[in-house]
Amino acid sequence: MSASVLQLYNRITRKPFGHWLFSRLICFKAPYFGSIKPRMTVLEPNRAEATIAHRRSVTNHLGTVHAIALCNLAEFTGGLMTDVSIPASMRWIPKGMTVEYLKKAVGAQRGVATPEFPPYESAEGYELPVNVVVTDPQSDVVFKARISMWVSPKPARS
């Protein structure tokens, strides 16, 4: 699946509105992400970037981007980065996430996901820590997340 997601991204994003269309397709496959309307802007092995606009649907009672919207952005970028980075023989699932809210999130938010080490093929499952940093329009860090991705071999097909 990892190669096919990256191939789809590379094919679609060459076209007008391609980043928007790719992001919508991911939200169709995983509908909950549609709540933040993310826009994938970079997707390559070991790096992903996406943005969300500051709109009413992601705003809290303080008028800032809601903490859970930032968590969703982190999981969106971290998951897609993991998917296109792991070997084709492996699969992944988020196991846990720790977050830090560092500053009020105002304006469009940009999340960048990178692994702590390059994923590798293994006969055993392993934890892959993924770091996501979210910045505001002034490039100030407003949020950090560390997602524990469980990477394990795909089951043998019978």
Q: What is the mean pLDDT of residues 47-74?
A: 97
For residue 158, what pLDDT band results from cuts at 50, 70 and 90? Answer: low
Q: What is the mean pLDDT of residues 44-72?
A: 97
Q: Which of 64, 121, 50, 132 is nearest to 98 (CA)?
A: 132
Instruction: Tell me what the pLDDT averaged over the chain comes to.
Output: 95
For the chain, the residue count is 158
Residues 6+ apart with CB under 8 A from 24: none
Q: What percent of the chain has pLDDT over 70?
A: 97
* Cα 148 to Cα 20, 29, 121, distances in angstroms: 28, 22, 17
Q: Report pLDDT for 156.
A: 83
Q: What is the mean pLDDT of residues 48-65?
A: 97
For residue 38, what pLDDT band results from cuts at 50, 70 and 90? Answer: very high
Q: 97-154: per-residue pLDDT in tens?
A: 999 999 999 999 999 999 999 999 999 999 999 999 999 999 999 999 999 999 999 9
CA 28 to chain centre: 15
Please say whether the beta carbons of 42 and 49 come within 8 A.
Answer: yes
pTM: 0.93
The full set of domains in the chain, from first to last, is 2-153 (3.10.129.10)
Task: Say if strands 90-101 and 39-44 run parallel, antiparallel, or are unpaired.
Answer: unpaired
Q: What is the mean pLDDT of residues 61-74?
A: 97
Q: Report pLDDT for 1.
A: 40
Please say whether the beta carbons of 42 and 51 come within 8 A.
Answer: no
C-alpha dihedral sign at 11, 26, 36, 116? negative
